[in-house]
Structure 1
């Protein structure tokens, strides 16, 4: 049976000794819980310090007896894991380095859905006497122009045009989607703030494909992603949000397995239904190409009469913009990159490794949450397909998501109170777990990195009207699933007739078990393996693991072949990249991956972790050996930051491996700058 994790208050079938052991662990961990953060008195962050860690951070988990496996089927068994396993609990600590945004407690400007006004009582904080008439503010709307000066420019997705300034001294009515306000005192700029609004727009159609939507036979689809959060790290860091989902009987995909290294190869299957390699053969032939011609799932919904929206809380780390060219056109009805990019450039602060986490006095993730809520209010009488992605708070740090828990819980509560969830299918997911740091050197950290968060919250009417599809989704919570399956489910939701009981029964009678993309409204076969699901061996979590002595011949041979593969990837770049050599073997694990096929007799697989020189890079890969040759299974992961070591390499993948010779010479110094997304 699958692992089941229950929060405090849920009856557990464990013995007294086991219960006391976990209570002791909880008491030990919570003994050091004074407040989550000792911070500047920021209003945005005070919500983190309202409760002791015993309730807001270190949640109490009772584990049921059947926790030996996360999932346990004929085709795949994933080891059971505890959110606070002994091997990782030392890494689960309050994020003491997280800082409040600038001027959190005394924003000079406030707004609602229709107006922006000056908070006169805060003027003194900006070296301005209260009520001084010399204070004026400039309101400027800005937008994404339809005309393009250079369609081949790397910054084609960053184009912007500002309107003329409108001055005001007390308040002003909002007439734009994106607004910049700057305030001056005696001809000196003292304040700048950006505002994002969600006005009702005309519903644009795709020509003859448009059909009038029947709101009685459709649901809003809201997909909310949080970058780099594993299933269990979500349990650890966001217990309030988790409790809301559990209370509403949301379905958790416990065997949701990633299919690629980072964000892009794990979201491409969700949004397109194909692998990145297939994307390059269809609509994205070159890295300098834009994604305008790619078959996004939201286009299906647009044809069905939906409004569409795509928003991320970081422009720099945008899914289609990091080391890529983004879009030349506007991909959805509501596309907020223009706003986020400008806000990042002009008011971004508290840069933490990769990106700014604040827009002025507000966290960027909170800007995104507030926007989604505003958009749902604006379009409450229409249908919306929205794909939103948070990255700024969760991308770089294992424990930072705890800072978002209250806001995500409140967001869901607000949607619930407004009854928006009664007509909405909400999907909360991630692309992978944390990909670097000390936790990645543990077995659980490696597995968590491959098992991201995935929750499905369905309205009561869905469970009543499509009970067979709903029951199959519940069954699949204990099966091996992938982003490809999520895409197939989204395709089914475009036309709900496809998931009526009689149609689901017909589909269940067909032969579909060999497919790598199976709708989650159909029962995933019990005998599904990583191979049939389209998961490379390197990412597969179904294996059993056996340690190999690091000084053994097998370990030395496997590590040597990993080094050869690394240098092979860097072939042709020898003038700028150093040839990598083996510095040390950190770990070699043999993977037992079921019974080999006849033509694979005798093969063995190894998970290899090595440290290289120069640069002290730490790399992990899966290698297969059949006594004739060594083959690489999937891609090679880097487990530590490369900083500026790869400044001379601009290929988004090779940056992970290249150690530039020109700047560092023979030095092994590392100056962390950013981690490849």
Structure 2
């Protein structure tokens, strides 16, 4: 990325500070106001707030706080608070992806055809003809599976029940008199046991029967995009209640995201790397996409321990999630599904197709996850599944997947699969756009994604110390890096041997070990502008210092946009909301020597009414932007003229300006 390295940013901020000293932001009178205001805030509120928070930190069970430790205090909210209630819209509790029954269905390794349903398609059963074509995933020059696939030759479906030896197929039906016009498509997925046969046999040779090794735990990760902990409790009420009450789930209340969107957060918990380190080593765009084979992706830890590995996601066009070398990989069939049967629900505003034929996209992934779990029961496996299509865009739509997720958990439990499996239900961040996002509650939600862990019921008895630490850590500040180290411990069983794995500084620790009460966001590389431990108080949007900080933000962005000549310069419009923090150990490390105020702003710029969230630090009359300025409303095609991962949030392409 051009012009955004640390040295460049520091130089940019220094230059802006120098300009500000002689500008409208920092006139002598403003400097006096800054100093007086800082002194008043510090002496009237900072000490009292600091002592007040210290006095409550001994009671970590106080429900006024999600976590309440010497290193971090995070306020709790009613999930149906007035801030949320007034923004609530009526969305359906569920929706139907189709009104006709499928002509083909699958179960296990069987494909079933239902000719009698042909009348629902205005075809006589006797005139119905169907075939299937196997899905052939493409490979790159190095032999790795990529996101594309082709189809094999048609095979007629002549029986009501057909055994399938493929991983995925496209079923097609015609009317016999017009077999050039398909009346029906469907994509089916099959988990072929022979793919795991070698690992199953090796496991039996080493350990005997699966039941004799219950602590060689399978691991199932269910990722749900854009799901905050608050919104899970609010809109996945059945899932949350079942997990907590029936499965004794661990709810990590202080799970704080590492980066703004999916990419940096999943990089952290899948690879244990920061976004900067990953970007510095990333391959060229012309390469095969996904994670390079030499990257330390966490499922390789499991594969090296003899685990069967599986992967699935419901946005198959993504180049980022592409593990290449797992045994069970549904993406090839899902790309065919997206070409032939994916569709949208009118008037609901999805960015990704929520339906694959008559099924919700998420349900396709959950069914596949269940099939893998059922098939691989004689050896441990690691399954990573990610759903995005339904939850990515709308806060309320989360409730649509509540029953499917609960049903999956119930089935896994009733079939005994959870007796040898650890299940993690995790997200990357909360809702990044919308009206709630521009409130203080929305700011907190986006930084606190859902993170729950479900262990077999015998685990707490067999391993009381790791279990005790897990429970303690549900009320501590935890990060994506901690999740990564925990997964490593499960793969290596280091939690049993009490081994401590050496890791980079500020890269977390396994949650099988107690997280220090003194931990701060800085201790685990959580940027200040994403830290939920920060506490802010309302301040008037008309405060001249607030407006100065907002205009400084716009100038800061404009300097970066000069590297992209196809983007217009932004203009300050107005401040929508403002909050202020003072006296925090992180924002003011040398409190006795330097007074610091941090402003959390939501501002609007022109053109196109871009809504931006900015964290601006004021110290000794000088301003600096902390972290990344975040766009909180959608920008669609406004930035089509650049592909920069950060500045596309702010860019308004010149060719979109009104014609003179």
Q: Partner of 2:122 in structure 1?
A: 127
Residue 211 and residue 610 in structure 1: after superposition, are their counterparts in 2 closer, same or farther (change >3 A)?
A: farther
Tell me, yes or no, if the aligned pair for 2:476 and 2:515 is still in contact at 8 Å: yes
- Partner Cα separation in structure 2 for residue 445 and residue 592 of structure 1: 21
C-alpha spacing 1:480/1:97, structure 2 compared with 1 (3 Å): closer
Q: Normalized per residue, which structure has more helix? A: 2
For 2:191, the equivalent position in structure 1 comes to 198
User: In the alignment, is the contact (CA less than 8 A) between 2:118 and 2:128 conserved in 1?
Assistant: no
Instruction: Report 1:467-546 matches (<5 A).
Output: 467-496=464-493, 498-500=494-496, 503=498, 515-546=506-537
- Counterparts of 1:424 and 1:382 in 2: how far apart (Å)? 11
Corresponding position: 1:566 with 2:588: no
1:606 Cα deviation from its structure 2 partner: 1.4
Contact 2:310/2:326, CA 8 A, preserved across alignment = yes
- Counterpart of 2:219 in structure 1 is 221
Deviations 1:207-259 (A, max 9, x none): xx999764514100101011111111101111111111112211100000111
Cα distance in structure 1, aligned partners of 2:101 and 2:387 = 26
- Asked if 1 retains the 8 angstrom alpha-carbon contact of 2:429 and 2:449, the reply is yes
- The reply to whether residue 250 of structure 1 matches residue 240 of structure 2 is no
Q: 1:342 to 1:203 in 2, by over 3 A?
A: same
Cross-structure match for 1:278: 277
What do residues 395-433 of structure 1 show as CA deviations (whole Å, max 9, x unaligned)?
111111111111111111111111010000000011111
Residue 83 of structure 1, aligned match among 75, 79, 92: 79
Q: Distance in 2 between matches of 1:474 and 1:92?
A: 33
Corresponding position of 1:354 = 351
* Distance in structure 1 (CA, Å) of the matches to 2:269 and 2:131: 42
1:295-374 equivalent positions in 2, closer than 5 A: 295-316=296-317, 318=318, 321=319, 327=322, 330-350=324-344, 352-374=349-371
Cα displacement (A) at 1:114: 2.6
Residue 631 of structure 2 is matched in structure 1 by: 638
Would you say the 8 A contact 1:279–1:285 is kept in 2? Answer: no
Asked if 1 retains the 8 angstrom alpha-carbon contact of 2:482 and 2:511, the reply is: yes
- How far apart are residue 446 of structure 1 and its match? 1.2
| Kept in 2: contact 1:205–1:302 (CA 8 A) | no
- What CA RMSD, in Å, does the superposition of the two structures yield over aligned residues? 2.7
CA displacement at 1:349 relative to structure 2? 0.5
For 1:213 and 1:386, locate their aligned partners in 2 and report how far apart those are by CA, in whole Å: 22
CA displacement at 1:638 relative to structure 2: 0.8
Match of 2:609 in 1: 616
Residue of structure 1 in register with 2:229 after alignment = 231
1:111 aligned residue (106, 109, 112):
106
Say yes or no: does 1:665 pair with 2:646.
Answer: no
CA distance in 2, matches of 1:382, 1:639: 45
Deviations 1:510-535 (A, max 9, x none): 99997441111111111111111211
Q: What is the 5 A alignment of 1:167-178?
A: 167-171=156-160, 172-178=162-168
For each residue in 1:279-334, what CA deviation from the matched residue of structure 2 results, as whole angstroms up to 9, or x when unmatched? 1233x154555322321011011000001112111113x3xx2xx5x65x723222
Does the CA-based 8 Å contact 1:607-1:621 persist in structure 2?
A: yes
| 8 A contact 1:255–1:477 mirrored in 2 | yes
Q: Does the CA contact (< 8 Å) of 1:108 and 1:122 recur in 2?
A: yes
- C-alpha distance 549-213 of structure 1, shift in aligned 2 (>3 A): farther
d(CA) in 1 for partners of 2:108 and 2:646? 43
Deviation at 1:623, TM superposition (A): 1.9
Change in CA separation of 1:454 and 1:613 when aligned onto 2, cut-off 3 Å: same
How far apart in 2 are the matches of 1:343 and 1:666? 41
**Secondary structure of 2:239's match?**
helix
Report the 3-state secondary structure (helix = DSSP H, G, I; strand = E; otherwise coil) of the residue aligned with 1:160.
strand
Q: Tell me the residue number matched to 1:419.
A: 416
Name the counterpart of 2:173: 183
CA drift at 1:89: 1.5
Shift of 1:602: 2.0
1:636, CA displacement in angstroms?
1.4
Q: Which moved more, 1:108-117 or 1:211-220?
A: 211-220
Counterpart of 2:174 in 1: which secondary structure? strand
Deviation at 1:79, TM superposition (A): 0.8
Aligned to 1:162: 151
Offset from partner CA, 1:548-568 (integer Å, 9 cap, x none):
322222112210111022212
Aligned to 2:295: 294
Distance 2:302 2:564 in 1: 44
CA gap of 1:666–1:583, structure 2 versus 1, over 3 A, is farther
Structure 1 residue 549 and structure 2 residue 548: aligned? no
- How far has the Cα of 1:118 moved from its partner? 2.5
Cα shift at 1:653:
2.6
Q: 1:645 to 1:204 in 2, by over 3 A?
A: farther
- C-alpha distance in 1, partners of 2:596/2:337? 54
Match of 2:386 in 1: 389
Partner of 1:35: none
Displacement after TM superposition at 1:593 (Å) = 5.7
Q: Higher relative contact order by CA 8 Å / sep ≥ 6: 1 or 2? A: 2
| Equivalent position of 1:432 in the other structure | 429
Gaps of 5+ in 2: 1-59
Task: Assess if the C-alpha contact under 8 Å between 1:543 and 1:592 holds in 2.
Answer: no
Distance between the aligned counterparts of 2:163 and 2:351, measured in 1?
A: 36
Tell me, what secondary structure is at the counterpart of 1:157?
strand
Deviations 1:621-647 (A, max 9, x none): 212222364332221111111122122
Cα distance, 1:113 vs structure 2: 1.6
TM-superposed CA distance for 1:107, in Å, is 1.5
Q: Give the alignment partner of residue 380 of structure 1, picking from 374, 377, 390.
A: 377
Contact (CA 8 Å) 1:227, 1:390: kept in 2 or not? yes
Alignment of 1:589-608 (within 5 A): 589-592=579-582, 594-595=584-585, 596-598=588-590, 601-608=594-601
Distance 1:572 1:511, change over 3 A: closer
1:345-374 C-alpha deviation (Å, 9 max, x unpaired): 111101643110111111110000110110
Q: 1:119-158 CA distances to partner (integer Å, 9 max, x unpaired)?
A: 22321121212x32x321111111213454999xxxx833
Change (3 A) 1:150 1:584: farther
Give the superposition deviation at 1:339: 1.5
- Assess, with a 3 A threshold, how the Cα gap between structure 1 residues 537 and 210 changes in structure 2: closer, same or farther: farther
CA distance in 1, matches of 2:241, 2:142: 50
Is the 1:210–1:304 Cα contact (8 Å) retained in structure 2?
no
Report deviation, 1:205.
Answer: 8.8
The alpha-carbon distance between structure 1 residues 484 and 147, as it changes in their structure 2 partners (threshold 3 A), is: closer
- Counterpart contact for 1:211–1:304, Cα < 8 Å: no
